[in-house]
Structure 1
Amino acid sequence: MPGPRVVIIGAGVVGCALADELTGRGWSDVTVLEQGPLFETGGSSSHTPGLICQIAPSRTMARLARYTADKFAELGCLSRVGSLEVATTPARLAELHRRFGFAQSWGVPSSVVDPAACAARYPLLDKSLIVGGLYVPSDGVVSGVRAAQAQAARATSRGARFLGDMRVSAISSAAGRVTGVRAGDEDFPADMVASCAGFWGPEIGQMAGIAVPLLPMAHQYVRTTPAGAADDLPILCHPDGDLYFRAHGDRLGIGSYRHDPMPVNLADLPGDAHPAKLPFTPDTFKQSWVAAIELIPSLRGSTLEDAFNGVLAVTADGFPLLGESSAVRGLWMAEAVRMTHAAGAAKAVAEWMVDGRPAIDLHECDLNRFAAAQLAPGYVRKRAIRTFVESCGVVHPADPPPVRNLRLSPFHPRQAELGAVFGETAGWEHPLWYASNPPPDAPRPRDEWSARHWSPIAETEARLTRRKAALFDLTPLTRIEVTGPLSFLDGLAAGDVDRPVGAAAHTVLLDAAGGIRGDVTVARLAADRFLVGANGPLDVDWLSRHAPPGVAVRDITGGTCGVGLWGPAAPELLAPLTGGDLPASHLGMVPVTMLRLSGVGEPGWEIYTEAGYGLRLWDTLWEAGREHGLIAAGRLAYESLRLEKGRRVWGRDMTTEDDPYQAGLLPPGETPVDRRLTCLVLADTGDVPLGGEPVYAGGFTVGHVTGAAYGWTVGAPIAYAWLPSGLASPGTQVEIGYFDRLLLATVAAEPLFDPFRERLQR
């Protein structure tokens, strides 16, 4: 069977890879349309330096890169010259140790090497500047055009056709589903359309009536006259100088992120054969050239033989845009994909199209991951510029973004009065901690990295939540109203959501293969009306895609707000506001929905109301809580408390690659699992991992950390990690790789706090 009719827009390396992957899975009715000539199209694939570098903080991105490297090597397109990332400062060397940890976690062979070894690998270096390096032997370089040709040839042999000089001018749809593409003077009927247009993606999206949130930007690349190079030199990354180098025979190619950001307007691109190669701006390259000569003295005798500003696509968060549009069914995207990830991204999208799900977790890359506010052109522009600037930076996971105060909870004025220090998630401002709460008398020491964007006040807030009561802002969580028969949600959830009206359950959503698609709370508000507490737009998209006729799914987050009121004093605090009846429909004069749910292991309630009542709700609870020692608490305290209680978070602790048995959400089944999400208690050295660090046993990498925090109730750092089942027994000792040191950890029975749920029964 030829499969559905598929039209791919763009015959660069990603479009050719997708055609190859689809036809390799038996779909032969595949047409690839390219506005330029085949296969030197004039897009990014035509001018790319062709670097394949596999280490990334993200497991997903590392896997996409590893598949790309292996596939291009198998096709004979990749030269595995290796890569060497050098450090010229102690801070950068520490970052290289952290990146080595990611490599260990994701299975990328690598080693941290000393200056002598760096010079041995790359003799052109001024060794006196180097304090160390990170070497990856399996990285390499590839010709983008050659890789596109090789994949297109295989796809053609299986029935695909490639048409050049066919500029797409329209995308047709009916009843919310794509029906075809018009290019040149021809119409191409289609059951599926996949846009692989690179930085032209927003133009294609506009034709279909959807936003494609990426920003075309120019990136400087030069090629020198002879500089003593050789083709077997590894890729050289000099992040302290915002530079990278690759050999072109005896010449060097130099790419720079050192210049000021250069956003590009698509309307200003030249109409010649190389629209993605803009005129070089030498003034903005001066500092880069000086830094390059400083690192590689042999460049002093060379000049620039070729130079241009190449256009590439940059997203707000640095991840590609993959998947099917939630607004136009059958319209797929594989945009903002670097050469490093090209074949891997195409494979994942092809799996998604053919099998209904990719084989690996793609939530970081999902096209539909952004909220509406994050699709605004101004937001995309500012965030994408920041992403470009930080391409070579030492980026902390909690570094604040450049766009702030985009989405504010109704409680924000009161939080600011209490000295809240805010973080940001999905455009929402959320308190990390409150300066009005005192720090502990004797704060625990903490390592410099994990102490960034952190405060010892988190200890005070966590302890007072356990002793008295605290208000946590839940407004940034996604709230979805589902109307329809119970069978809809019951069929998607792992747990039983058939509860009486007024009751709620915490459960996970499952995909068709039994993978965890999201962790949610489901509250039954009426016989056929439910409030679903979720993680973000992907949950809205998932429920909407699976809703049959007669079921309505509506995101109500923007018109509502909520707090978590938790702690042993919470029931007593609420009693005067309700006449002693809980749950209640009103707190004072505020109409509310109260759910007996707790993410921190303390008695209390999730309390929701319309946004217009938000300030009154906060003030009502705050006034009632004065005599009970009520405090406001932030995200840092919540992380500590939820890990003590063993509360998992989708997207961090578990994904579609994991099932509820492996994640410890259901009792062991009949079939033993091969790995488990495991609780670890660390030796209290002051070091607290943040996630992604490797776990070792017997000197071998056996797993990775998903998240960690200091547990103030248990008096030690806590981490959760995926480990083989044979190592998941309480008492087993393992080690966590943290920068250049190993942290001793012990597998613990969980939950660490209140294992018999005695406190929740109060």
Structure 2
Amino acid sequence: MSRTPESLPPAPAPRPSGPQVVVIGAGIVGCALADELTARGWTDVTVLEQGPLPAPGGSTSHAPGLVFQTNPSRTLTAFARYTVEKFDSLREDGVPCFRPVGGLELATTPERLAELHRRAGYAAAWGVRGEVVSAARCKELWPLLDTSAVLGGFHTPDDGLARAVPAARAQLERARGRGARVLDRHTVTGIERADGRVTGVVTDRGVFPADHVVSAAGFWGPVVGRMAGVDVPLQPLAHQYARTRPLPELAGAAEEAVRPVLRFQDRDLYFREHHDRIGIGSYAHRPLPVDPFAVPGYDEARAGGREMPSSYPFTAADWAPSWQDCRRLLPALRATEIEEGFNGVFSFTPDGMPVLGPSRALRGFWLAEAVWVTHSAGAAKAVAEWMVHGRASVDLHECDLTRFEDAQRSPSYVAERGARQFVEVYDVLHPLQPMEQPRPLRVSPFHARQRELGAYFLEGGGWERPHWYEANAPLAEGLDVPARDAWSARYWSPVAAAEAKAARERVALYDMTPLRRLEVTGPGALGFLDRMTTNNLRKRPGAVTYTLLLDEAGGIRSDLTVARLGPDHFQLGANSPADLDWLLAHAPGGVTIRDVTAGTCCVGVWGPLARDLVQPLTHEDFSHEGFGYFRAKRAYVGHVPVTALRVSYVGELGWELYTTADLGLRLWDTLWEAGRAHGVIAAGRSAFNSLRLEKGYRAWGVDMTDEHDPYEAGLGFAVRMDHEFVGRSALDPSAVPERKLTPLLLDDPAAVVLGKEPVSVGGGAADGYVTSASYGYTLGRCVAYAWLPPLPAGTGVHIAYFGDRLPATVAEEPLFDPKMTRIRR
């Protein structure tokens, strides 16, 4: 006897496979991660949530759901694009989890209008539809606007509103269907570990064994991190959100929202429809930090009269100025009042980016923190790929947990910088704009002398970095340096041209102390580095080699300069804390790796007269015959012991001179006094960047990342296929690349771009984007490197810059001194 489909028993749940994974937190990120992991075959996934589902009381439960895809970060834009794509395909009770009403950002000042043109450039570069529109078009899109003060807007038709709680629920159901467990009302109280590896999660209702644990706990991330012995650099802050009473102008609205999500960033405000009401969010108020260790649990919050743990009482005094701005922009609000409001808690990091990835402190413990709804599905996909496949399909170096220096992990730093990120969330920020506090944090031993010379400092990695010196201003008088537009003139000075000229004609001292230095020692050091890097390191002590760190897929994780100082002793010039983390994760017994940056310093001595300056100060032979290019030598410069590397990132003769931090000032003074006879100057990063681009030297994290292989990036010369190394099997030197890092020269001698601008070949949609750019003072043209399809030299392209189309031409590289005669002399 056959049975009807309705009478059949339910199909058994699939047997879980893959390692045991526990995800802590069933907010939008935890739910998305469970879905992404199970979709990739890791179905032994348990999601633990302390609150009740489907709205457990974290940030997701009150999120307004705004999704604006365009961001200066290509990675965050990719996250948002995937989130839109995924949520658009999700349904909860038959209702889509994404409403593509579009986005509209307003400009009421010329500065903001220029910023919207720049954002339109980002959108074009990263593949997001958008255009700068007139005030009249803004009125068409949002009829309630008073556009008398509006100068224009940026309209992105594919942006919109995410229904966060339904999207979380829909993703959880898909994960459940593949075998995942979802348990609410389970409060995590501890993380079990053994031999430096996570083994389980302790809750108030039992212990859950785990091979991997992912903290997706949102603003509770620092609490979970402390249980695991892992710092989570995250500061929760409260953000005001309010809803008006019903508006007659919106009466009878059948849809939740039909108009674009509106941003009034000049007043730190945003607006969205809720049927016949308007929801308003404000970042205009004072920062309201929240202690994550003091946030109550769900039941405690409810007992205290709060709707959820992440919802704090509305502070009317903070709201009052914003309400006046709202009524000026939307006159219809003058006839209504705020019906309800709350201060909702969100997560902020010191640099405003998410915190993703595995912890070195506890193997198997992962973070997926400080991710907003906008980027949730994309970030979850990246973490799932990382866990299952060992790498993500998008570059994550801006989000990697390891990116923060130790000096940037103190609770005071995280709190101060997190609060500043809140203040600046809608500010117009220049790409070179440094943080104001806490500074100075890290300074080189030369800092006092640099200040005496009038150094203009910018900041990176906590380091104070001179970009030019006002003492060199007289050298700039009479130089033919094109005037700049207001944007590119910020954090720039024509003094940089004089410093670049001095390095080309005489000699200059550059502070290279912030360059990360790793020391690798031990009897297995050579074999280890040979396996980890692409070039030939089996050279005699004294050799210096430029090489690459690749991942298993052949992507460029970093580039290194490796000096073999002894048979088992190597000094590595590296890029970020992630390099140390990667090497430590692969190092065998008998190999010691130390970051020696803080205890050492470096002066770059470069220019045609560099040998005239240095040779009289040392008894060692610094001639070309006695000290060849890409060689290392220990010597004394005056009274100071140095490790000298004959390398040059400005394309001129010279050395990097390393010594211990205690002797740094003596080294600087020795070189300075001896250099007076040769017209020595101190030069900054602005000139350095110009000179290195004229030589075509790449900057990792800007020009190339693990999304690129060495041949696309023009670094095939650093790959020797005659030995085994990580990523070798993924490389094909004979393959024709579909894209290349391409040098461009702008046709107009006065034109300048800064990076991240879209580049078009045929005049239509963008074919690529600019990575690094700087004016080449030796060449008399702005140099820009861009990822483009392979193009022959002489091909004309256009770079979009604030709405203008600047013509540029593909050039042969290196643009300066192609025969290397200036370096090898």
Please indicate, yes or no, whether the TM-score normalized by the shorter chain is above 0.5: yes
> Alignment partner of 1:437: what SS?
helix
In the alignment, structure 1 residue 243 sits paired with structure 2 residue 278: no
Sequence identity (%):
57
> Alignment partner of 2:823: what SS?
helix
Deviation (angstroms), 1:529: 1.1
In the alignment, structure 1 residue 182 sits paired with structure 2 residue 222: no
> Alignment partner of 1:398: what SS?
coil
Q: Quick one: which of 369, 387, 390 aligns to 1:335?
A: 369
**Whole-angstrom distance in 2 between the partners of 1:51 and 1:177:** 38
> Alignment partner of 2:443: what SS?
coil
**Whole-angstrom distance in 1 between the partners of 2:669 and 2:449:** 8
> Alignment partner of 1:306: what SS?
strand
TM-score (norm 2): 0.91
**Whole-angstrom distance in 1 between the partners of 2:224 and 2:162:** 27
2:213–2:364 Cα contact (<8 Å) kept: yes
In the alignment, structure 1 residue 572 sits paired with structure 2 residue 612: yes
Q: Which residue of 1 aligns with 2:517?
A: 479
Deviation (angstroms), 1:425: 0.4
Deviation (angstroms), 1:584: 4.2
1:440–1:459 Cα contact (<8 Å) kept: no
In the alignment, structure 1 residue 358 sits paired with structure 2 residue 421: no
2:749–2:781 Cα contact (<8 Å) kept: no
Deviation (angstroms), 1:267: 4.3
In the alignment, structure 1 residue 373 sits paired with structure 2 residue 407: yes
Deviation sequence 1:388-447 (CA, Å, 0-9, x none): 111111001111202211111011111111111111101000111011112231432111
Deviation (angstroms), 1:580: 4.9
**Whole-angstrom distance in 2 between the partners of 1:530 and 1:89:** 54
Deviation (angstroms), 1:498: 2.4
Q: Which residue of 1 aligns with 2:160?
A: 140
**Whole-angstrom distance in 1 between the partners of 2:651 and 2:548:** 18
State the AA in 2 paired with 1:460. A
Q: Quick one: which of 59, 68, 72 aligns to 2:83?
A: 68
> Alignment partner of 1:391: what SS?
coil
1:689–1:707 Cα contact (<8 Å) kept: no
State the AA in 1 paired with 2:263. C
Q: Quick one: which of 77, 80, 88 aligns to 2:108?
A: 88
2:222–2:292 Cα contact (<8 Å) kept: no
**Whole-angstrom distance in 1 between the partners of 2:380 and 2:38:** 12
Deviation (angstroms), 1:503: 1.6
Deviation (angstroms), 1:552: 1.5
State the AA in 2 paired with 1:405. P
1:503–1:595 Cα contact (<8 Å) kept: no
**Whole-angstrom distance in 1 between the partners of 2:204 and 2:739:** 53
Deviation (angstroms), 1:487: 2.1
In the alignment, structure 1 residue 276 sits paired with structure 2 residue 310: yes
> Alignment partner of 2:812: what SS?
coil
Q: Which residue of 1 aligns with 2:758?
A: 694
> Alignment partner of 1:101: what SS?
helix
**Whole-angstrom distance in 1 between the partners of 2:287 and 2:751:** 36
Q: Which residue of 2 aligns with 1:742?
A: 805
**Whole-angstrom distance in 1 between the partners of 2:53 and 2:538:** 57
**Whole-angstrom distance in 2 between the partners of 1:444 and 1:224:** 52
**Whole-angstrom distance in 2 between the partners of 1:215 and 1:287:** 25
Deviation (angstroms), 1:685: 5.1
In the alignment, structure 1 residue 605 sits paired with structure 2 residue 643: no
Q: Which residue of 1 aligns with 2:584?
A: 544
**Whole-angstrom distance in 2 between the partners of 1:282 and 1:685:** 54
Q: Quick one: which of 379, 391, 394 aligns to 1:345?
A: 379
1:734–1:745 Cα contact (<8 Å) kept: yes
2:752–2:774 Cα contact (<8 Å) kept: yes
Q: Which residue of 2 aligns with 1:761?
A: 824
Deviation sequence 1:99-123 (CA, Å, 0-9, x none): 0000000000111111111111111
Q: Which residue of 1 aligns with 2:134?
A: 114
Superposition RMSD in Å: 1.2
Deviation (angstroms), 1:574: 1.1
> Alignment partner of 1:244: what SS?
strand
Q: Which residue of 1 aligns with 2:53?
A: 38
1:492–1:511 Cα contact (<8 Å) kept: no
Q: Which residue of 1 aligns with 2:736?
A: 672
Q: Which residue of 1 aligns with 2:461?
A: 426
Q: Which residues of structure 1 form unaligned runs of 5+?
A: none
In the alignment, structure 1 residue 47 sits paired with structure 2 residue 62: yes
**Whole-angstrom distance in 2 between the partners of 1:476 and 1:316:** 19
1:10–1:197 Cα contact (<8 Å) kept: yes
> Alignment partner of 1:576: what SS?
helix
2:619–2:636 Cα contact (<8 Å) kept: no
Deviation sequence 1:644-678 (CA, Å, 0-9, x none): 00000000000000011000111693111001000
Q: Which residue of 2 aligns with 1:441?
A: 478
**Whole-angstrom distance in 1 between the partners of 2:649 and 2:563:** 15
- Pairs within 5 Å for 1:144-293: 144-227=164-247, 228-229=249-250, 230=253, 231-270=257-296, 271-273=300-302, 274-293=308-327
1:440–1:456 Cα contact (<8 Å) kept: no
Q: Which has the larger Rg? A: 2
**Whole-angstrom distance in 2 between the partners of 1:684 and 1:458:** 20
Q: Which residue of 1 aligns with 2:627?
A: none
> Alignment partner of 2:549: what SS?
strand
Q: Which residues of structure 2 form unaligned runs of 5+?
A: 1-15, 91-95, 303-307, 623-632, 718-731
1:88–1:131 Cα contact (<8 Å) kept: yes
When structure 1 is superposed on structure 2, of 40-49 and 267-276 the one drifting more is: 267-276
In the alignment, structure 1 residue 663 sits paired with structure 2 residue 713: yes
> Alignment partner of 2:402: what SS?
coil
**Whole-angstrom distance in 1 between the partners of 2:422 and 2:748:** 37
Deviation (angstroms), 1:579: 2.5
**Whole-angstrom distance in 2 between the partners of 1:476 and 1:349:** 30
**Whole-angstrom distance in 2 between the partners of 1:269 and 1:519:** 43
1:124–1:296 Cα contact (<8 Å) kept: yes
Deviation sequence 1:709-757 (CA, Å, 0-9, x none): 11011111110000001xx211000010000211110000001111011
Deviation (angstroms), 1:185: 3.3
Deviation sequence 1:311-364 (CA, Å, 0-9, x none): 000000000000001211100000000100000000000000000000110000
> Alignment partner of 2:401: what SS?
coil
Q: Which residue of 2 aligns with 1:464?
A: 502
**Whole-angstrom distance in 1 between the partners of 2:320 and 2:413:** 30
Q: Which residue of 2 aligns with 1:581?
A: 621
| Runs of 4 or more consecutive aligned structure 1 residues displaced over 6 Å after TM superposition | none
State the AA in 1 paired with 2:378. G
**Whole-angstrom distance in 1 between the partners of 2:784 and 2:293:** 50
State the AA in 2 paired with 1:104. A
> Alignment partner of 2:33: what SS?
helix
State the AA in 2 paired with 1:660. P
In the alignment, structure 1 residue 301 sits paired with structure 2 residue 326: no
2:517–2:596 Cα contact (<8 Å) kept: yes
Deviation sequence 1:443-464 (CA, Å, 0-9, x none): 3211111110111000010000
> Alignment partner of 2:242: what SS?
strand
1:566–1:598 Cα contact (<8 Å) kept: yes
Q: Which residue of 2 aligns with 1:640?
A: 690
2:99–2:161 Cα contact (<8 Å) kept: yes
2:750–2:781 Cα contact (<8 Å) kept: no
When structure 1 is superposed on structure 2, of 340-349 and 486-495 the one drifting more is: 486-495
Q: Quick one: which of 491, 516, 520 aligns to 2:560?
A: 520
**Whole-angstrom distance in 2 between the partners of 1:485 and 1:390:** 45
> Alignment partner of 1:553: what SS?
strand
State the AA in 2 paired with 1:752. L
Q: Which residue of 2 aligns with 1:716?
A: 781
